[in-house]
Amino acid sequence: MGRLKLRDMNRLKFLILFCLVASGSLKAQYVINTNDELLNLKKLPQEKVYLHHTGPIVFSGEYLYYSFYCINAQSNRASNVSFVGYVALVDQEGKYVLEQKVRLEKGKSQGDFFINTDVPSGNYKLLGYTQWMKNNGIEQVFQDDLVIINPYQANQSRLISNAPLKDEEIPKGRSQPIDSSIIQIKLDKVNFGTRENIRFTLKNYKSQLGYGNYTLRIQKKEDMHVVPAANAISFANKFFNTKGELSKSVGDSLFLPEQSGELLYGKVADKNGKPLPNTKVVVSVPGNEFLLKFTTSDKNGNFYTYLRKNYKHSQAIMQLVNNEGDVDISLGKVSRLDASGLDFNRFYLKPGYADAIAERSVYNQLENQFFSAKSDSVLLGLPIDPFDGGMAETIFLDDYTRFNTFQETLEEVLNYAGYRNNPKGNDYIRITQDFETYNEKANDFGAIVLIDGVYISNHEKIKDFSARRIESISLIRDQFRMAGKDYQGMMSITTFEGDFYVDYKPENGINTTIDKALVKKNYFKQRYGEDTVVNRNIPDYRRLLLWEPHVQINGDEIQFECYTSDLTGEFEVVLDGFTTYGKPISVYKTIKVHNENQ
C-alpha cells in the first residue's frame, strides 16, 4: 500500500483514504490464471441470500418492503464475505425492471421498492444475490414470484388467461410452517377493533438455541388466491444443496467478491483505445464528507477501488493524478446474469377480483395523498470524517477581509500555504512543513488540493477561482505518499453552495454518476392515544400494520405493539428468520379486525 505519512503511522491511516494499488490483471471479472489462485478462491465460502418481503401481490402505488439475509452456504450462518448485496425485479422476458444495491452489516440489510404506474401488470421474479454468488449462476440466486397489478393501465393482457379458470387450478394458502417449539408469538387476544392497540410478546423457549435474527410483520391477508411468498423454511429446503464453494476452473473468468466495500472500477486508454498500464488515477466522491481514493492501472489499463464509507453523493470524478498526456477514462459496469430462462408461476385475474382491486386502489390513493403525514425517516448514519482523525486547521473567510481571487486569498490570509513557481510546468500549491512540531527533512512537494471534495490536479487552473464563493479552507500539514507520489499537506476548500462538482469537467477524466447503495430507513409507526398529536381525521388504510425488518432475539422475550388501521378482515402476524446457528424459523398467527360501529 505504500508509506502514507512520514510519522505517526496510526494517524496516517488518514489517507488510506485512499490508497489502493491494483496489482496483476485484477478487474471486475477476473481470469483465474493458476491452480494456486483457484485453490485460494475455493477457500472463500460461497453465499446464499434469502429475502423476506411483503408480497406476493403488490399494486402500483404501494411499497414492496424486504429484509435481506446473506448466509454462508457452508455453515448456514450469517456471511461475512460480501459487503454489498443486490435486489432486482425481473419480468417474464428476463428484463431487469428495478434494481437496488444494499450495504450489508453482518450479512443483513433492508430496503423497499415503490411500484410506480410505469410498471405494467404481470408476473415477476424478485431476485436477491451478491456478486460472489453470481459465479455459480442464476441457480444460486434467490428467486421468488411476485405479482404486480397496475389498475391504472388499460392493458392487463399479462394477467389474463384465454382459458377459463377453475378454482382448483388456483393455488390456495401456503404449505403450513411447523409450529415452532423454539419461539412463539403470544397474543392476549385475536379480535380487535379498528385503530386499536395490538400488544404481543415473542417468547423464546430455548435460550441460546433461539437467539438469532428475524423479520416481524403484521399484514392483511390477500383477498386473491396466489402462490404464497417464500419463508425461511421453504427457502432452507429449496437451497439445502446450494454449492458451498466456487464452481470455476483455471482460465475461467469470475465476479470478484465485494469484501472491502462497493467495487468501483474503470479503464484508462489513449485516444486510440490502447490500454495504458501503470497509470495513476484518483477517484473523488465529492461533498463535505468526501472520499478520496488513489489507485494505479494494471497491465491491461484496468483500475479498481472499493468504497467502504457511506458516502452521500452518487457522483464520482475519475481523473489522472498528473495532467500528462491525452487519455480516455471509462467507468466499468459489472454485467448482469442472464434471467431469460426463469420459470414463472402464473397468476391470472378473475372477474370476481374486480371489487377487491377497485377498493384497494382507492385506499392506496388515499394513503399516498396523506403520505407526508406518515412518511418514513432516513437513517443518516455516522458522519464521515474525510480526514480520518487528522487535525485540520480551518479558516472561515468571512472572518477576514475578502479578496477577489483564490490566489490573492492565499497570499493575504493564509500563513502556511501559497503558490510556488514551477519552471518546468504549472505552478502548484505548497503547504509549509511543521518543523516546530516534527523533525523531518525539507521537501518541495505539492499539496493535495480539493474543492468540495473534488481533487484538483492542476493547481494553476484555480488561481482565479472566485474567493467569494469560498466559505472555508482547511489545512493539514502532514506529508503523504499515495500511489507512489509524495505530497506535502492537504487543502480542502469548501464553497458556500457545496456544488463545485456538479459542473466540474476534469482535463483527463470523467465526471459520472455511480450506483449508490440504498439509504436505510426507520419505518413509520402509526400511534393513536391521548399522548399523540396524530390527526384522527386522516384516513388510515394501512395493509402493513407493523414492519420490523430485523429483530435481534438474545433473551427470553421481547414485547411489541402497533395499531390496527381502518381496514377490517384477517391479518397475519409473522415471525420469520434464522437462529444464530442457521436454523430457519417461521411462525404465523392470525388476528381479526372488526369495525365496532357496524
Q: Which of 119, 104, 32 is nearest to 68 (CA)?
A: 104
Q: Are 205 and 181 in contact (CB under 8 A)?
A: yes
Give me 552's grid cell.
Answer: 435481534
Give the lowest-confidence range in 8-12, 81-85, 222-226.
8-12
Going from the C-alpha of 185 to that of each of 51, 205, 221, 233, 577, the distances in angstroms are: 21, 11, 18, 17, 14
Which of 529 and 403 is assigned the larger pLDDT? 403
63 CB-side CA count, 13 A: 16
d(CA 417, CA 394): 12
Are the C-beta atoms of residues 586 and 222 closer than 8 Å to each other?
Answer: no
When the candidates are 2.170.130, 3.30.720, 3.30.70, 2.50.20, the CATH number that belongs to 393-508 is 2.170.130
Our CA dihedral for 185, 189, 195, 197, rounded to 10 degrees, sits at -60
Whole-angstrom distance, CA of residue 509 vs CA of residue 522:
38
pLDDT > 50? residue 597? yes
Query: What does the pLDDT read at residue 213?
Result: 98
pLDDT in tens, 281-298: 999 999 888 899 999 998
The bridge status of strand 142-149 relative to strand 57-59 is parallel
Mean pLDDT of 203-220: 96
Q: Does domain 47-164+172-245+522-594 have CATH number 2.60.40.1930?
A: yes
Residue type, 533: V
Could you report the per-residue pLDDT of 64-78, keeping only the tens digit for each? 999 999 999 999 999
Rounded CA-CA distance 109/520 in Å is: 8
Please give the share of the chain, as a percent, with pLDDT higher than 70.
88
327 pLDDT higher than 70: yes
The pLDDT value recorded for residue 176 is 52
| Lowest pLDDT segment from 177-181, 203-207, 208-212, 365-369 | 177-181
Residue pLDDT, tens place only, 77-104 = 999 999 999 999 999 999 999 999 999 9
- What backbone torsions phi and psi does residue 233 show, to the nearest 5 degrees? -70, -45
pTM for this prediction: 0.88
When comparing pLDDT for 90 and 6, which is higher?
Answer: 90
CA distance 340 to 352: 32
Residue ranges per structural domain of the chain: 15-44+249-331, 47-164+172-245+522-594, 393-508
Q: 557-573: per-residue pLDDT in tens?
A: 999 999 999 999 999 99
Q: Kindly give the residue spans of alpha helices, DSSP state H, lying in 96-159.
A: none
The continuous run of DSSP H or E covering 579 comes out as strand 569-579
pLDDT at 173: 42
Cα–Cα separations (whole angstroms), residue 301 to 31, 262, 274, 325: 15, 20, 8, 15
Torsion-angle region of 481 (φ positive above 0: left; ψ -120 to 50: alpha; else: beta): beta
Residue that the C-alpha cell 516546530 belongs to = 436
- The conformation of residue 275, written as its DSSP 8-state character, comes to B
